[in-house]
Structure 1
Amino acid sequence: MENQTENNSQNKGSFFQSTTAKMMMVGLLTLVLLIPLEFVKDLISERSQRKQEVVDEVTQLWGKDVVFYGPILKIPYKSYQEYNVTNPKTKTVTIERSATIEYAYFFPEKLNNTSEVKKNTSLKRGIYNNVVFTANMHFDGSFAKPDYAKLGLKEEDLLWDKATIMVKTTNLKSVKSDLNIRLNQQKLDFESKPAEDTFYGTLETPAFNYKTLASKETIRFDLLMQYNGSNSVKFIPVGKTTVININSDWDSPSFEGTFAANDTTKTIGKKGFHADWKILDINRSFSQQYTEKIPNLNEYSFGVKLIETVDEYQQNERASKYGFLVIGLTFLIFFLIQSISKISIHIFQYSMIGLALIMFYTLLISITEHSSFTLAYLVAGTSVITMLVLYSVSILKNRKFPMFIGLSLTALYTFIYVIIQLENYALLVGSTGLFLILGAVMYFSRKIDWNNSNA
């Protein structure tokens, strides 16, 4: 009976000393370490959200997206309504007519724009830099004689001496230039009008006599506007022929909207970009003239969004997603060394190694907020690798294996950094790297006797 109990105790002890048991404990520890790793991800998300709140606050004061819509020729006209009037005494019915004033809107024949968009990095709130821009826009073009017949109007019903020019645009408070437009030889100042919708603000000139101002039934216009803005610059092609040219020192544009930029003239480089658009009236499905109210034409907007390809918090978030891979592969390296060298590594020592690996991400996010992501990655990576190499010397009792661990971690962190920096080839490089890592693990583990309980 005593022999049986002793044999069971030996079998139980030999199982917990077996390779299988050690693998299970290391695997369980790896899963447990995902908990503090999730806390680190929450910290990154919280800091990113805080940055977005600051950015929203600054852009609210500086200026948001810029959308330009116009200029538009606005001419009032008389609209008549007939109604029957019955004489109560004679019972005769007469037809009377009353006139009301309504408005006709005419888009320009030609609309040309040249815009210079320059980024402004001077705005800083706390530790956050807010990248915004100043846009200098020059518009010119011409209005042809209004085609009022298409609207069913008569020339004598139009009030030519009460014509105005109107412009719709977002963020009126971010306009930083004098607001006037030159019509042939006459200059007219814009005035802000009550908003007709929640998206656009309206600017309108005082009334002028169209027939007096028109030269050969054509009015040429010239308009300069300067905006403070952020995020994007867009236009609505109200010209029968609309030509837009944008030059900027922003190196990461994203072209958006219904119409694509001209591929033959579009250039993007480290010093900025240039883009051209040419849109004809046959390219969009709305008219050149309207009565009563202009329909919502936002679906026809186009332009450029000025983006940060990957900001520091996105880079930190992407780095943290590889945390499980780093912890798993590092534990695997230590486990293979333990199996090959017959050196015993306690589960507590694995825990210290795992916590050191997680500290990499807290160091990374904290240093990034005060410097560049590259410098932060270098400092955090060097610190953690140095700590683990020194710790490995103490637990492995030699220098050969710690040097191998240091080189392996350096290669692993370098590999992850390269993946983070890549955009188009991240998946390809990542898959290839993982395939090579798997091959290396299979090679170094090929001679380990997994059936040896003391391994």
Structure 2
Amino acid sequence: MEQSNTPQQEKQQSNRFTYWLKTSITARMLMVGFLVIVLLIPLSYINSLIRERSFRQTDVVNEINEKWGDEVLIYGPVLKLPYKTYSEKTTYNDKTKTYLTETETHINYAYIFPEKLDLDSKLNSKSMYLGNFESSVYTSKTNINGTFGIPSLQSKDIKVEDIQFEKATIIYKTTNLKGIKTEMAITLNGNSYNFETNFNDSRNTKNRLEELETSHLNKDLFSSKIDFNMNVTYDGSRTFQIIPVGKTTTLKMESNWSDPKFIGAYSDNDETRNINPDGFTADWKVLSINRAFSQLYLNAMPNLGQFAFGTEFVVLVDEYQKSERSAKYGFLVIGLTFLIFFLIQTMSKIHIHPFQYLMIGLALTMFYTLLVSISEHSNFLKAYLVAGISVVVLITLYSKSILKSLKFSGFIGMSLTALYTFIYVIIQLENYALLVGSIGLFLILASVMFVSRKIDWHND
């Protein structure tokens, strides 16, 4: 027959377990580790909150750009040349019992790219805000000039007499028609021709190339090479790119934006690039040998978007990106803070209750909600200072009541200050964030190993 424990025996066992929790290093380590894992739950909710607010920022930035002007992509100008083709159609006549052959005429189009295309673009950039959300916008003034060669379709087996020079036009494709701020016209050998929109009833118009076309050109233009010149002013945002349709294409870009990112299929000239706090200048040169498309297409203009290049006007690590990067270090902050309390508890024999650890952990997670909410109404530095000082002061005062020592609580305060300062420095860095972070973590690990070397881990 099994003998049940008496109330006195159960009390003794409970006291032994409580004593083990208070005195055992292993028990304290398990308890601290468990609490760190538990605190990952509110940290995950905070990360979700930051992502949600970041998505809201994306929606607002898109709203800003739609009102100001979307991304700009230039494709052209291109010479559109109609020509005749013929086909035979045979029909059977029941009355005469004979076959009749008719010749049908069809109108097709050749699209001829320029021999030379030079663009000189000056962009006045600025940050635009809606509430606390920021987008990079610009006003660009671009001069486009170059030369069309004398059209020849003989390589495509098209006779000169079948070309309708009198119905030739110039095509210019671009995104962001809404952002164009000048009348669109092109000068060909001194003669000016206005562009009109070839309307395409498509519901998805964002970042889609729209087509502009001139009236019919003067037939006399085609007796020699055609020099062209045009100017266009855009209100745009985020990116400015061109497609290198010239046999030789050059792009010179100048802007007051200090954080450009050169994007696309071709890199700029490193020797002429100049980036400084007042802006940048950059030059590109693309030859026909550098691209995988020809100078002449029949029936339809190809989609050459993959060959576009230009500049993205980057808003460096915005407030939500900084908050998200800061929250990624939440596990590290909580773990190191608990480690400091654990070492103090182990070395000084001061008892710290699990509930007190939990309160300290929750205070550390509150830093991130304060940071996100305040940064929406101020800049990131001010938000970080307010949130950091609030949490450091709160935990320092709370640790004073727990540890009963001004020396220990002061050490806690200085450690948290150093930790938050270290994380802020990492967040601000771009190219050296990983290097500085790795060195910092190595030094922290070395410090912990040095402090804990005299602890008797076997006294359990």
Q: Considering the TM-score relative to the shorter chain, is it more than 0.5?
A: yes
Asked if the contact 2:334/2:364 (under 8 Å) is kept, the reply is yes
Hey, what does 2:396 align to over in structure 1?
Answer: 389
421, 431, 443: which is aligned to 1:436? 443
Contact 2:136 2:314 in 1 (8 A): no
Q: Check 1:365–1:8 CA distance in 2 against 1; reply closer, same or farther (3 A cut).
A: closer
Structure 1 gaps, min length 5: none
Report what 1:293 is aligned to: 300
- Is 2:72 the partner of 1:66? yes
Deviations 1:354-382 (A, max 9, x none): 11111111111111112221221122111
Residue by residue over 1:392-430, the C-alpha shift from the partner in whole angstroms, topping out at 9 and shown as x without a partner, is: 222222211112111111111111111111222222221
Residue 192 of structure 1, aligned match among 189, 194, 197: 197
SS at match of 1:190: strand
Whole-angstrom distance in 2 between the partners of 1:129 and 1:10: 60
Residue pair 1:132, 1:230 contacting (<8 A) in 2 also: yes
Take 2:126 and 2:91, find their aligned partners in 1: how far apart are those partners?
67
Q: Give the stretch that moved more between structures: 130-139 or 355-364.
A: 130-139
Letter matched to residue 63 of structure 1: G
Report the counterpart of residue 146 of structure 2 in structure 1: 141
AA aligned to 1:230 is S
The CA deviation string for residues 230-263 of structure 1, in whole angstroms up to 9 with x for no partner, is: 2211111111111111112222222222212112
- The code of the aligned residue for 2:165 comes to W
Tell me, in whole angstroms, the C-alpha distance in 2 between the residues paired with 1:147 and 1:399: 90
Shift of 1:180: 0.8
| Distance 1:225-1:6 versus aligned 2 partners, 3 A rule | closer
SS of corresponding position for 2:158: coil
CA contact (8 A) 2:195 2:213 kept: yes
Q: Tell me whether 368-377 or 127-136 shows the greater mean CA deviation.
A: 127-136
Scaled by the length of structure 1, the TM-score of the pair is 0.93
The answer to whether the 8 A contact 2:427-2:433 is kept is yes
Structure-1 residue corresponding to 2:321: 314
With over 3 angstroms needed to count, the CA separation of the structure-2 counterparts of 1:83 and 1:407, relative to structure 1, is same
Change beyond 3 A, Cα 1:12–1:282: closer
Q: CA 1:240–1:431 in structure 2 vs 1: closer, same or farther (change >3 Å)?
A: same
Match of 2:83 in 1: 77
CA contact (8 A) 1:316 1:365 kept: yes
Question: C-alpha deviations, 1:127-179, integer Å up to 9, x for none?
Answer: 32332222211101111101221222111111112221110111212211111
Partner residue in 2 for 1:161: 166
Tell me the alpha carbon deviations over residues 37-86 of structure 1, each in whole angstroms, 9 at most, x when there is no partner.
Answer: 11211111111111111112222232222111000111222222223455
Task: Give the aligned length.
Answer: 450
Q: Distance in 2 between matches of 1:13 and 1:280?
A: 80
Query: Residues 33-432 of structure 1: matches in 2 within 5 Å?
Result: 33-84=39-90, 88=94, 91=97, 93=99, 95-121=101-127, 123-195=128-200, 199-211=208-220, 213-214=221-222, 217-432=224-439
Unmatched tracts of structure 2, length 5 or more: none
* Structure 1 residues 155 and 26, CA gap change in structure 2 (3 angstroms): same
Aligned residue type for 1:355: L
State the secondary structure of the residue aligned to 1:130: strand
Pair 1:429–1:446, CA change in 2 (3 A): same
1:254 partner SS: strand
**DSSP-derived class of the 1:445 partner:** helix
Shift of 1:277: 1.1
TM superposition score normalised by structure 2: 0.92
Paired residue for 1:23?
29
Task: Specify the SS of the correspondent of 1:33.
Answer: helix
Q: CA RMSD in A?
A: 2.2
Superposition deviation, residue 207 in structure 1: 0.8
Following the alignment from structure 2 to structure 1, what is the Cα–Cα distance between the partners of residues 218 and 234? 30
Paired amino acid for 1:38: S
The one-letter amino acid paired with 2:291 is: R
SS of corresponding position for 2:441: helix
Helix, strand or coil at the partner of 1:59: helix
Q: For residues 109 and 9 of structure 1, what CA distance do their matches in structure 2 show?
A: 92
Given residue 413 of structure 1, which amino acid in structure 2 is its aligned partner?
Y
Q: Secondary structure at the match of 1:295?
A: coil
Distance between the aligned counterparts of 1:147 and 1:322, measured in 2? 65
CA distance in 2, matches of 1:12, 1:277: 75
| Aligned equivalents of 1:129, 1:100: Cα separation in 2 | 53
Do 1:151 and 1:290's aligned partners in 2 also have CA atoms closer than 8 Å? no
1:204, distance to aligned residue in structure 2 (A): 0.6
Aligned-residue offset at 1:7: 6.6
Report the Cα distance in structure 2 between the residues aligned to 1:267 and 1:354, rounded to whole angstroms. Answer: 48
